[in-house]
Amino acid sequence: MLIDTHCHLDFDRFDVDRDEVVARAAANGVTRLIIPAIDLDNCPTVLHLAEQYEGVFAAVGVHPNSSAEWQDEWVDALRQFAQHPKVVAIGEIGLDYYWKRSPQDVQHRAFSAQLALAHELGLPVIVHNRESDEDVVRLLRESPLNGLARPGVLHSFSTTWEIAQQVLDMGFYLGFTGPLTFKQADELRRVAGQVPLDRLLVETDAPFLAPQQKRGQRNEPAYVAYVAERLAAVRNLEVPILQQQTTENALRLFGKKLNL
């Protein structure tokens, strides 16, 4: 069994064949999917999918690229959405200095407010970080999640071992996606090779970041198996052992709800 701990199954690129995508995932042993929301309007859509499919779970949050209009009252709406029985995390939240869709100080406010909400609700966070290493580490360190047993995951981890060590020290897990399988990704594989085994997660970020075998195509949850396969090779483990380990990690981080 595998869990795709991060996919955007709600995006319109899945409108034509969403049922088949979920069925193909299950046929490949990927029986649980977590869909993180990206903004308030998106939360009901994600929750609706979680109601529609037994193995689909949700996270609610406002992505840094959607935080330009952030208001602190949005936390109240997120708190309401988080009451849904299939919500397992607050996300996708974080910082993104690549797209620059919202000013940095606004991103900081949105991120910190949602980290505090996660702490209040006892939920882990799903963290997006693009070209914002230092500020992500600083805001996580200043947050009430720092040092908890299961604070959350740095999703689609793609930066240095130095940053990895700092967030691992705070208790965070690291999620790996398709880029781990890319030909040029030796540096990323070196990082993945050093992460404690009980802190590793696999994810797709579908429809984005298709693995090497499917490069250029739409990514989908079934392909998380390629990430697990590559991670097993990096760790010198049999594929089923790596699958079992990352699945146990996901169940530990996101909680018993995932155990239907």
CB of 6 to Zn ion, least distance (A): 6
Question: Any idea which residue has 């398709």 for tokens?
Answer: 178
**Exposure string (b/e) for 145-160, b if CB count within 10 Å is 16 or more?**
bbebebbbbbbbbbbe
CB of 93 to Zn ion, least distance (A): 11
DSSP 154: E
Cβ proximity to Zn ion, 165 vs 217, nearer residue: 217
Torsion angle in degrees (nearest 10) through CA of 247, 248, 251, 254: -90
DSSP 7: B
Task: Report residue 141 as tokens.
Answer: 């360190």
CB of 91 to Zn ion, least distance (A): 8
Cβ proximity to Zn ion, 4 vs 70, nearer residue: 4
CB of 209 to Zn ion, least distance (A): 9
Which of the residues 199 through 218 are near Zn ion (CB under 5 A)?
Answer: 205
**β 2-4/200-202 pair status:** unpaired
Cβ proximity to Zn ion, 37 vs 200, nearer residue: 37
Q: How far is CA 56 from CA 21, 30, 31, 79, in A?
A: 12, 11, 8, 20
CB of 14 to Zn ion, least distance (A): 14
Binding piece for Zn ion, criterion CB under 5 A, among 51-59, 142-150, 198-206, 247-255:
198-206
Cβ proximity to Zn ion, 205 vs 220, nearer residue: 205
44-73 footprint of Zn ion as x/- string (CB under 5 A): ------------------------------
Cβ proximity to Zn ion, 96 vs 205, nearer residue: 205
Residue nearest to Zn ion (CB): 205
* Residue 219 burial by Cβ neighbours in a 10 Å radius (0-12, 13-18, 19+): buried
Which residues here bind Zn ion, judged by CB under 5 A? 205
